[in-house]
Amino acid sequence: MAPLSIDESKLDGFLPGALGRWNGELYAVGLWDAACAIFARKSVLEANGIRIPTLDNPWNQEEFDAALVTLQGSGDFEYALDLGMAWTGEWYPYAFGPFLQSFGGDIINVETNMANDALNGDAGIAFGEFWQSLFARDLVPGTSQDGADRETGFIEGQYALQWNGNWAALPALDAFGDDMLFLPAPDFGTGPKIGAASWQFGISATSEHKDGASAFIEFAIQDKYLSAFSQGIGLIPPTAEASAMTPNYSAGGPLEVFYGLSNEQATLRAVTPAYVVAGKVFEKAMADIANGADVADTLDTAADEIDADIDQNSGYQ
Amino acid sequence: MALPACLLVFTFLILPFFMAFGLSLTNQRLVSPNPTEFVGLDNFKKMLGVSFLIIEPEMDEAGHIKLDNEGNPIYPRVRNFTRNQEDFPQFYKKREWFQLGLQDGKVLVVLSQDVVFLKALANTMLFALVVCPVQAGLALFLALLINQPLRGINIFRTIYFAPVVISMVVVSMLWRFIYDGQNGLLNTLMQMFSFGLFEPIDWLGNTSTALPAIMAMSVWQGVGFHMVIWLSGLQTIPLSHYEVARIEGATRWQTFRYVTWPSLRNTAILVMVIITMQAFTLYPQIQVMTRGGPLDSTQSLVFQAVIRGYEKQDISGGSAISVILFLLVLSISLFQRYLTREKN
Amino acid sequence: MPAHKLLGMALRYLLLIWIAMIFIFPIVFMVISSLKPDLQLLSDSSSLRAFLPVGDISPTNYLSAFDRAPILLFIFNSVLITGITIVFSLFLCSLAAFSFVFLSWRGQGVIFAIILATFIVPFETIAVPLLLIVNNLPWIGLEGIKNSWINSYHVQIIPFIADALTIFLFVQYFRDLPKDLIEASRIDGATWFQVYRRVIMPLSGPIIATAAILKFLMMYNNQLLWPIMVVQEESYRPVMLGLQYFFQLNTQWGEIMAYLTIITIPVLIFYLLLQKAFIASIASTGIKG
């Protein structure tokens, strides 16, 4: 990949998740952003006496936990919360990594370039124990969740809450209309966090037409095209202006909340090429802990494996 | 005239085969800016090396063994040894593979740096150990059944063989649905035949049932193949041999034991060699059904070779597993040959 | 027929039918389920209705499966890759076998032995280094020179053309052919290639069918591990990789069943039409082994 030669002023107001930076250079720009939220129904929360959290005042860990226990106890649902364990692959680090970060841990500590102590430190283990307890108490479906249930379980009332991305928001809105809520991620200690993500345009280092490609990207990131893109595929426009031009995401629009989520809570995943391996290792660790593996041992092994990979690549420098 | 084919065999079979040996001694990666280094047997040491740790129950000040609420002795955490580089450098960064209880409440803990590989190795051996005899035996049973002079027997032969022509990928997808814990067909059928006594099981989501479920499915798919091989062996036995047995008044078992079985020895070798090779290369089932989970209970050598060599771009690690796999297959086929040669 | 013989006969058939049901139920379930909407599919699987085409039967799943993935492209790719591999394999392997059996040259025995030895090298053990090789091989194609074989048809074809089993089958077959035929045509002044083409090949119908069927089963059905590693571009993917499309978003079991049916039923029909040849080809690996 080659750095982009794009006028920085054109990038003002871009959501952080839509820009790919590495070593201070801009390498990629995304035409949209994605954000996760807790999908919920107002009527269900009210009936169970659960406070509706806001961006400024999200649930803390106790509240979140109590809400799940209450919902599970109501007996109306198979599971209180659906985390999306059926979606193996990128989903795990993207959707669950931020929980770990909110606990104060991380997959890789960007400063030390190591997973040890970030992933398996006290914060990491606290997260792991909490994670395991969700499965042990049958509050969430486990790794053998059926992919079809992940798709339809919330809309069909099998699950009270669902941790999902804005790409799934429209069907949920269709099903529940005004009753539908998109809640911010809980604050597990160091503030609420969600993953930021987009597919991005970049230029191959071997491209013969770097300038032409840069020009194309500059052209495509004008607000009107970003807005049109979002209307076409339903994802979050990466600038405030484009957002205002897109009915679903403009002020008062049904998905406006996602722009706020993306703007306020989004945390970039570890910006390092080590992420390819680290993401896979993290996924396996999350699955194993969900299935009852010893938390500290599992996180130790995962951290060692990520560090060994970084070492083997001479730190990916 | 043999040149084109020989060249292809050389480039795409023999060359990569020797490369696997070479690469397993390096730290080669798929794409890396860093030069490849020769690391000797490091990859194998990491994968195969185990160390042993004996832990004793914790004592209180009076010298009594501390007990937990259920009356079991409390042991120090293995983590205290494996994450403590100063006092126990030999255990550093190793993980518990399994424990064995010794006398006097002592516990032997087997530690390894690569527990996932060892589990994959153990699972693959177990898979081969169970599937080979079961599949060969069932295939022989079916072949004997099909070898009867009954009207319409070819229809049954056709049906029994049908799963063989279906891709293992398709079969695995299909059986994922059959094994499903909630809506699975298998649970439904079991409940029906047990009149509701049977408790539904999440076959693939359970550490104790996932590997057996995959074994059963693999036998289902492959047994027709080996039935046909047995059948071709059975059909080479001259009818006059059976005639003699009948005149001598042999029972059905005696006929099988003294007429049929001895003539099948060569077929038996072939069937065992083919099944063993297929069993050791257990892969599509794992990739489609469980991806090694839950808790590594279905890891296999080939699956790990792919995960490391391809997904994690660690060519040398993947190659080292390939080398171990090949040595296993080689030694087992040599062993089988030795066993059968001795009797001749 | 006396009563106890009749009973014995009935019991045998009962056993045969019972076993047949074990082998056939997943296939029936697959086809039937592909015609049902998901909700009914799930509720039906708790009863024997799972095997009956009852309720809301429609080809909807097939239509949406075609919408979701470029199925025709995948089928085309699979057929193309499998077909070309079979043609080249039959030609080059029989040519090699011809040379091993009828010609005599230095090192013949050793090379044949080495080729036979590769029979116990599982493909899976060489996949990773093979990836490294094809990643660095140059290719001259219509679009010019590329320095890697990744993302192409040929990367899925060329490594699989020559294999020990096919060569071995041809060698076995050629050894049983009468030698005087060949000597007669050599005396008539035919070149070795003419002997191969005009004398040997016309006699090799049965073994060509056998080798083609075995190669077909090996290729069409096993396109998973290798394509996962070497094909990232959609336009070169075979059918087995197409399954991924049905798990990305909005998994519908009915659609998956429809896709499985689409890629399996042609093979099953092919098998039913040629079942004698299929079974004979498997058996032939056994007779002389």
Instruction: Provide the residue ranges of all domains of chain C, joining segments of one domain with +.
Output: 1-68+249-271, 72-240
What burial class does residue C44 get, using C-beta atoms within 10 Å of its C-beta: 0-12 exposed, 13-18 middle, 19+ buried?
Answer: buried
B206 shares contact with chain C (CB less than 8 Å): no
Instruction: Count Cβ atoms within 10 A of the Cβ of residue C70 and give its class: 0-12 exposed, 13-18 middle, 19 or more buried.
Output: middle
Can you tell me the ipTM of this complex? 0.85
Closest residue in B to C21 (Cα) is: B159
Q: Which residue has the tokens 């593979």?
A: B97
Of C27, C92, C167, the CB nearest to B162: C27
C148 touches chain A (CB under 8 A): no
| A156 to chain C: closest CA residue | C39
Task: Give the mean model confidence (pLDDT) for residues C202-209.
Answer: 86
Contact C38 A148 (CB under 8 A): yes
Q: Which residues of C touch B277 (CB under 8 A)?
A: 120, 122
Interface of C with B in 20-49 (CB under 8 A): 20, 22-27, 29-30, 33, 42, 45-48
pLDDT tens readout for residues C49-104: 778 888 788 888 898 888 888 899 999 999 999 999 999 999 999 999 998 888 88
Question: Which chains border B (3 or more CB–CB pairs < 8 Å)?
Answer: A, C
Percent of chain B surpassing pLDDT 90: 20
- Write out chain A's pLDDT in tens, 317 residues: 555 555 666 666 666 655 656 556 666 665 556 778 899 999 999 999 999 988 888 899 999 999 999 999 998 899 999 999 988 878 888 889 889 989 988 888 878 888 888 898 889 999 999 999 999 999 999 888 877 788 888 988 889 999 988 878 888 888 888 898 888 889 998 888 877 655 455 444 444 455 555 555 565 566 666 666 555 555 666 666 666 666 666 666 666 667 667 666 666 555 567 777 888 899 999 999 999 888 988 998 899 889 888 887 767 66
Report the alpha-carbon distance of residue C120 to residue B154 in Å, rounded: 32
In angstroms, the separation between the Cα of residue C80 and the nearest Cα of chain A is 31
Alpha-carbon dihedral angle through residues A276, A279, A280, A285, given to the nearest 10 degrees = 160
Of B173, B188, B322, nearest to C260 by CB-CB distance is: B173
Q: Token pair of A235, please?
A: 């994802």
Hey, of A143, A144, A204, A295, which one would you mutate to test binding to chain B, going by the most B CBs within 10 A of its CB?
A144
Chain C: partners with 3+ C-beta pairs within 8 Å: A, B
- Token pair for residue C25? 């139920």
Q: Does B271 touch chain A (CB under 8 A)?
A: no
Mean pLDDT for the stretch of residues C183-187: 80
Res B344: pLDDT: 46
| C-alpha A101: how far from chain center | 11
Could you read off the pLDDT of A181-211 as tens digits, one per residue? 888 889 998 888 877 655 455 444 444 455 5
Q: CB–CB of A142 and B205 under 8 A?
A: yes
User: Cβ of C251 and A151 within 8 Å?
Assistant: yes
Report whether A230 contacts A236 (CB < 8 A).
yes
Domains, chain A: 8-30+198-267 (no CATH), 36-195+273-316 (3.40.190.10)
pLDDT digits (tens, 9 = 90+) for C29-43: 999 989 988 878 877
Q: With contacts defined as CB-CB under 8 Å, which chain A residues touch C253?
A: 148
- Chain B neighbors of A297, CB-CB under 8 A: 78-79, 95-96
Question: Bridge partners of A53?
Answer: none
**Per this entry, what is the length of chain A?**
317
Q: Is the separation of the CB atoms in A243 and A255 below 8 Å?
A: no
First to last CA, chain A: 15
Q: In the beta sheet, which residues pair with residue B331?
A: none
Mean pLDDT of B330-334: 83
Answer whether B95 touches A (CB < 8 Å). yes
d(CA B309, CA B4): 29
Return the pLDDT at C289: 41
User: Is A150 close to C251, i.e. CB distance below 8 A?
Assistant: yes
Lowest mean pLDDT among A210-214, B259-263, C172-176, C230-234: A210-214
- Across residues B224-229, what is the average pLDDT? 90
Considering only the beta carbons, identify the residue of B157, B270, B318 that sits closest to C289. Answer: B270
- Whole-angstrom distance, CA of residue C170 vs CA of residue C204: 9
- C194 contact A CB<8A: no
For residue B330, give the nearest of C110, C112, C122 by alpha carbon: C122
- Other CB atoms within 10 A of residue B257 CB: 12
> Which of C25, C128, C275 best probes binding to B when mutated, by most B CB atoms within 10 angstroms?
C128
Question: Is A316 touching C (CB cutoff 8 A)?
Answer: no
CA C246 to chain centre: 23
**Other CB atoms within 10 A of residue B80 CB:** 12
At A180, is the secondary structure helix, strand, or coil?
A: strand
The residue among C213, C111, C221, C225 whose CA lies nearest residue C166 is C213
Question: Torsions phi, psi of C49, nearest 5?
Answer: -60, -20
B176 has a chain C CB within 8 A of its CB: no
pLDDT band at C108; cut points 50, 70, 90: confident
Nearest residue in chain C measured CA to CA from B3:
C96
DSSP E strands: which ranges in chain B?
Answer: 50-55, 95-101, 107-112
Domain spans, chain B: 50-113, 116-343
pLDDT of B343 > 60? The answer is no
Whether residue B181 and residue A144 make contact (CB cut-off 8 A), yes or no, is yes
Q: A213: Cβ–Cβ under 8 A, 6 or more apart, which residues?
A: A203, A207
Question: What is the fold of B116-343?
Answer: MetI-like fold (1.10.3720)
Q: Is residue C131 within 8 Å of B30, Cβ to Cβ?
A: yes
- Asked if B169 and C159 come within 8 Å (Cβ–Cβ), the reply is no
Report the gap between the CA of A249 and the closest CA in chain B (Å). 37
How much is the average pLDDT of B153-175?
Answer: 91
For an interface test with A, the pick among C43, C64, C250 (most A C-beta atoms closer than 10 Å) comes out as: C250
The domain at C72-240 falls in which architecture? Orthogonal Bundle (1.10)
How distant is the Cα of B51 from the closest Cα of chain C, in angstroms? Answer: 28
Structure tokens belonging to residue B303: 């699956």
Residue type, position A181, single letter: L
Closest CA to C134 of C153, C107, C110, C106: C153
pLDDT at position A205: 45
Q: How far is residue C243's CA from residue B289's CA, in Å, rounded to a whole number?
A: 13
Query: Long-range contacts of range B32-40, CB-CB < 8 Å, 24 or more positions apart?
Result: B32/A313, B32/B313, B34/A313, B34/A314, B39/B316
Q: Does C14 touch chain B (CB under 8 A)?
A: no
HEC letters along chain C = CCHHHHHHHHHHHHHHHHHHHHHHHHHHHHHHHCCCCHHHHHHHCCCHHHHCCCCCCCCHHHHHHHHHCCHHHHHHHHHHHHHHHHHHHHHHHHHHHHHHHHCCCCCHHHHHHHHHHHHHCCHHHHHHHHHHHHHCCCEEECCEEECCCCCCCHHHHHHHCCCHHHHHHHHHHHHCCCHHHHHHHHHCCCCHHHHHHHHHHHHCHHHHHHHHHHHHHHHHHCCCHHHHHHCCCHHHCCHHHHHHHHCCCCCCHHHHHHHHHHHHHHHHHHHHHCHHHHHHHHHHHHHCC
Contacts of C193 in chain B (CB under 8 A): 1
- What is the Cα–Cα distance from B30 to A308, expressed in whole angstroms? 16
Given a contact cutoff of 8 angstroms between Cβ atoms, the answer to whether A93 and A268 are in contact is no
